[in-house]
Amino acid sequence: MKARILTVIISGSLLLSGCSVVNFFTPYKLDIPQGNEITIDQVAKLKVGMSQNQVRFVLGTPLLVDPFHQTQWVYLSRDTRGDTLLESKRLTLYFQENSLVKWEGDALPEPIERIEARKADPAQVNDTSSKSNNTVPSNSAAPNAETEVKPLIDKGF
């Protein structure tokens, strides 16, 4: 009699706990940030009139170059944890005749060095990006405007 009661209790508990075991058998999903991680400091180095090679040197290779709109580069960044999308950032650059005309995008993260410096000593950090909410300034100057563009190699990059 005790064996039957024990068998019923064990089998009942296994059947009831079977509903919660489903997550145990699903595969583990890695938390991998994908795309180009662009910071505000990198965007601050952009100037109207820069060539595509200079922009590629500053920001890196774009994640998406549309074959139908080759004068438009899109830098995407996504951060997911499992199936949950935590953040998605987009920076779009527009070119005309191999020259940067304007750019626009979402709010970008601060550089890690600035965040660590603020944690170490918040009084000494000159934080100008908090005034602008880390948004990318939309730049739509005319491509024929007189803008002096110097090669980045002369600046020591």
Lowest mean per-residue pLDDT among 101-105, 115-119, 122-126, 127-131: 127-131
Sketch the domain layout of the chain as residue ranges: 29-155
Residue 18 has pLDDT above 70, yes or no: no
Average predicted confidence (pLDDT) for the chain: 74
User: Residues 64-120: pLDDT tens digits?
Assistant: 778 888 889 998 888 888 778 888 888 899 999 989 999 888 866 666 666 677 777
User: Residues 37-47: pLDDT tens digits?
Assistant: 888 888 888 88
Taking residues 27-55, report their average pLDDT. Answer: 85
Residue, of 155 and 69, whose pLDDT is higher: 69
Residues ≥6 apart with Cβ < 8 Å to 143: 48, 49, 96, 97, 99, 101
- pLDDT at residue 130, as a whole number: 41
| Residue 49 DSSP code | T
- pLDDT at residue 53, as a whole number: 92
Q: Which residues of 86-109 are buried (b: 16+ CB within 10 A; e: fewer)?
A: eeebbbbbbbeeebbbbbebeebb
